[in-house]
Amino acid sequence: MGHLVLGPDALLRALRPGDADELALAANDREIWRNLRDGFPRPYTRADAERWISYNEQLALPLNFAIVLDQHVVGGVGLVPGHDVHRHSAEIGYWLARAVWGRGLATRAVGAMVRHGFDTLGFVRLHAGVFAWNPASARVLEKNEFVLEGTMRKWALKDGHYVDAWAYARVRD
Ligand SMILES: CC(C)(COP(=O)(O)OP(=O)(O)OC[C@H]1O[C@@H](n2cnc3c(N)ncnc32)[C@H](O)[C@@H]1OP(=O)(O)O)[C@@H](O)C(=O)NCCC(=O)NCCS
């Protein structure tokens, strides 16, 4: 699997064993964890990063990518395929190191992942549940033509709170 180019300064690429330190450094942040599923470790140690990298090395499909800015791993973006009657769809997830928030990088990463998900992997529907305390993530999806389909009430138990989530999806034309 080649790189997905995001511009002159950034790309998406497969994780490599040498990424563990940068990955753990970028991911070990409560404000990132708070907006993701509990499967995302907290704290996020070097061992967690190594496990994630090894897991991805044996995946049959290229589902998860490192977000690389100026040659450094600063985040991740990935797809979780659905099963059974949902096998044409996938959940999209993404996160970035706090130091690089607010410069449009997640928007570019999600855009590239949408193209990958539709054109290379053949999914027809991509979706995300965004905790209702996370408007920045909703904005990233809206800038990528995801549509708000509704609000899922008390959708998650996160960080000790039952939290509503916005259901966003984009379908292939
Ligand atoms: C959500 C996240 C990926 C956004 O990354 P980013 O690179 O800063 O996002 P972008 O710069 O591409 O876009 C952010 C948009 O949200 C807007 N935004 C930021 N904070 C906001 C807020 N509190 N309310 C409304 N909009 C907000 C920005 O202005 C920008 O929109 P604009 O381009 O129209 O101005 C990043 O904050 C993150 O990693 N958060 C923790 C993990 C996470 O939430 N993952 C998604 C789970 S669904």
CATH number at residue 165: 3.40.630.30
| pLDDT tens per residue across span 91-114 | 999 999 999 999 999 999 999 999
Q: Which of 108, 137, 164 to mutate to test the pocket of ligand 1 (most atoms within 8 A of CB)?
A: 137
How many domains is the chain partitioned into structurally? 1
Indicate the pTM of the whole model.
0.98
Alpha-carbon gap, residue 67 to 77, rounded angstroms: 7
Q: Is the pLDDT of residue 147 over 90?
A: yes
The predicted structure's pLDDT at residue 169: 99
pLDDT-derived band at 2 (thresholds 50, 70, 90) equals confident
The predicted structure's pLDDT at residue 138: 98
Q: Which domain holds residue 98?
A: 4-171
- DSSP secondary structure code for residue 43 in this structure: S
- DSSP secondary structure code for residue 132 in this structure: T
The CA-atom distances, in angstroms, between 118 and each of 36, 83, 114, 139 are: 23, 17, 6, 21
| pLDDT tens per residue across span 15-29 | 999 999 999 999 999
| pLDDT tens per residue across span 43-77 | 999 999 999 999 999 999 999 999 999 999 999 99
Q: Which of 23, 100, 101, 110 to mutate to test the pocket of ligand 1 (most atoms within 8 A of CB)?
A: 101
What is the separation of C-alpha 97 from the centre of its chain, rounded to a whole number of angstroms?
12
Q: Is the pLDDT of residue 1 over 80?
A: no
| Bridge partners for 93 per DSSP | 78
106 lines ligand 1 (CB under 6 A): yes
Nearest to 151 by CA among 131, 135, 137: 131
155 lines ligand 1 (CB under 6 A): no
105 lines ligand 1 (CB under 6 A): yes
Alpha-carbon gap, residue 106 to 109, rounded angstroms: 5
Atom of ligand 1 nearest to the CA of 35: 44
96 lines ligand 1 (CB under 6 A): yes
